[in-house]
Structure 1
Amino acid sequence: MIRRSIYFAGSVAAALVLAPPAFAQEEDHSSLTIGVGGAYIPSYEGSDDYRVIPIAQARGKVHDFAFWTRGPALYVDAIPNRDSDGVDFELGPMVNVRLDRTSRKGMKDDAVRALGKRDVAVEAGGFVGIGKTGIFTSAYDNLSARVAVAKDVAGAHKGYVITPAVEYVTPLSMTTFVGLGVSAEYVSKRYGRYYYDVDGANALASGLPIDGRAGDKAGFKKIGVNLSAGKSLSGDIRKGWAIFAAGGYSRMLGRYADSPVVSVAGSKNQWIGALGVGYTF
């Protein structure tokens, strides 16, 4: 029976996920994949400057209860994946640590650096989703849809973030997989105000124009697409070493794209890339 067992996430700031399904036997109720690598990401969300950062990710299951990381986020599925028809219902808690603009060193743009650092946000909440193995290309491909809802509990932006995502992954052979994902982020007024509004004092310090529209109301902040691929180094994607690569594009939307933080100091177009190696036990 085919089950999703190898995952390696390749982004931190943009939560780009490499989510390949792998060949795993039905009796394998516990597994673990860990990966390390590097990611090429914007220096902040909405920036036109880029930097390279190290990444470390993990995915696994314990007695059919799955868990996985996506950048600095952790998801735990409280519903065990035991359906013989390949249907996987997902429901569980998640937590994300948002590090955007929390270090002056990471902000290459002088104007944005003059706006000051942001506090680390800890977004806690939950997710719900459904996946199905055996959809289009073979009995082994997987299509899944998921929505996560989280609120900052650390007192940074104090708002909420809703993240819908759809992912499709398929093995091409016992050694190779490819994947495609589409996701978006819907954020609250407080989130928009904290990261994208520029008030009078900010404008004086940075030289950016005053703009408070991002915090007027909630809305979709961005939409993105990513491609992923992996190749086993051991001859079997179910176990041993494998290399992974991913590339993604996202577009800042609406009032967030029009914020001077993006439209003047940065760019609406956001690119990301990742390369890494993983090991499945």
Structure 2
Amino acid sequence: MAMSLLGRSAALFVLGTTGATGVAAQDAPRRTRIAAGPQLVPRYPGYKGVVLRPFLDISRARGDTPFIFEAADESASISVFDTERFSVGPTLSFEGSRRTRDVPGVRGVGFTVEPGLFAQYTIAEPLRARLELRQGIGGHKGLIGVASVDYVARDRDDWLFAIGPRVTYSNGKYQRAYFGVPVESVATSRLTAFRPGGGIQAVGGNAGFLKQLTPQWGIYVYGKYERLVDDASRSPIVRRYGSRNQWSGGLSLTYTFRGRQD
């Protein structure tokens, strides 16, 4: 999996509730939309199958301004510089661990905190491009970047449908953590030694749909597919214990409430 969707859920508690969400008049009351439900995601990059995790999302807007579009697979972020089409700011995600027993004989990968930066640009009204670059602290200690484009169709907050491609890049340190087999692990793992370099890790796409059922309640569903490519796809770990096909998806209920004026 190119990006930890569980990581997005956890990071929302750090960043998601403090981000700016629009340019409406500052004296308008805030609206907050909370989405909560289950999701199925790979346990770690290259994992075969999925595990059940919570899926959380928090969005805020002022007055009757529509909630800003956020794809389900993007990291939690705060926009610190905005124009009509462009925004940039810090982002935060987390990546799950790979245990030693998941790949016997090869050292595991610890839980990773991934702070970084994002930039996004509205190419035309229905098209939004986004780039994230994050550095792992602990765990894989590598660098990972995700480029995405989303076609967004919506009727304000009544309904929204988005779909678009994804390309994931990671450096050699990241790929060696999840896909590499050190020479010293060959005897214990019975896998061929493999030292991947940096480059394109995966390509795929994401789609999401949100529908408001009442002024307060709604539903949110998403699905994502990625295909490991290049060195990641050639990894002996992926070929024996994992899969080049990475699937994820989630379903949640949303609740919108209006706060007091600031």
Aligned residue for 1:264, secondary structure, equals helix
Aligned residue for 1:209, secondary structure, equals coil
Q: After superposition, give the CA deviation of every residue in 1:214-236 in whole Å (9 maximum; x if it has no partner).
A: 1xx320111120111122120xx
Q: For 2:145 and 2:156, locate their aligned partners in 1 and report how far apart those are by CA, in whole Å.
A: 35
Per the normalisation by structure 2, the TM-score is: 0.77
Contact preservation (8 Å) 1:91, 1:126: yes
Residue 192 of structure 1 aligns with which residue?
175
Aligned residue for 2:44, secondary structure, equals coil
Q: For 2:243 and 2:254, locate their aligned partners in 1 and report how far apart those are by CA, in whole Å.
A: 32
Residue 18 of structure 2 aligns with which residue?
none
Contact preservation (8 Å) 1:13, 1:44: no
Q: For 2:42 and 2:8, locate their aligned partners in 1 and report how far apart those are by CA, in whole Å.
A: 9
Contact preservation (8 Å) 2:204, 2:227: yes
How many residue pairs are counted as aligned between the two chains?
238
Residue 184 of structure 2 aligns with which residue?
201
The answer as to 2:133 corresponding to 1:149 is yes
Identity between Structure 1 and Structure 2 (%): 24
Contact preservation (8 Å) 1:92, 1:127: yes
Q: For 1:151 and 1:91, locate their aligned partners in 2 and report how far apart those are by CA, in whole Å.
A: 17
Aligned with 1:167 (options 150, 153, 163): 150
Paired AA for residue 208 in structure 1 = L
Task: Sort the Cα spacing of 1:79 and 1:280 in 2 relative to 1 into closer, same or farther, 3 A.
Answer: farther
Q: After superposition, give the CA deviation of every residue in 1:21-70 in whole Å (9 maximum; x if it has no partner).
A: xxx99555843221111111223221222222222222225799x79796
Aligned positions of 1:82-231 closer than 5 A:
87-101=84-98, 103=99, 112=103, 114-131=105-122, 134=125, 142-152=126-136, 154-171=137-154, 175-212=158-195, 214=196, 217-231=197-211
Contact preservation (8 Å) 2:122, 2:129: yes
Contact preservation (8 Å) 1:244, 1:277: yes
Q: After superposition, give the CA deviation of every residue in 1:136-159 in whole Å (9 maximum; x if it has no partner).
A: xxxxxx32111111212x233222
Residue 276 of structure 1 aligns with which residue?
252
Per the normalisation by structure 1, the TM-score is: 0.73
Paired AA for residue 220 in structure 2 = F
Task: Sort the Cα spacing of 1:264 and 1:14 in 2 relative to 1 into closer, same or farther, 3 A.
Answer: farther
Residue 12 of structure 2 aligns with which residue?
none
Q: After superposition, give the CA deviation of every residue in 1:197-255 in whole Å (9 maximum; x if it has no partner).
A: 1123333333332212x1xx320111120111122120xxxx52111111111000100
RMSD: 3.3
Q: For 1:151 and 1:62, locate their aligned partners in 2 and report how far apart those are by CA, in whole Å.
A: 33
Gapped regions of structure 2 (runs ≥ 5):
10-21, 258-262
Deviation at 1:75, TM superposition (A): 0.6
Q: For 2:105 and 2:224, locate their aligned partners in 1 and report how far apart those are by CA, in whole Å.
A: 29
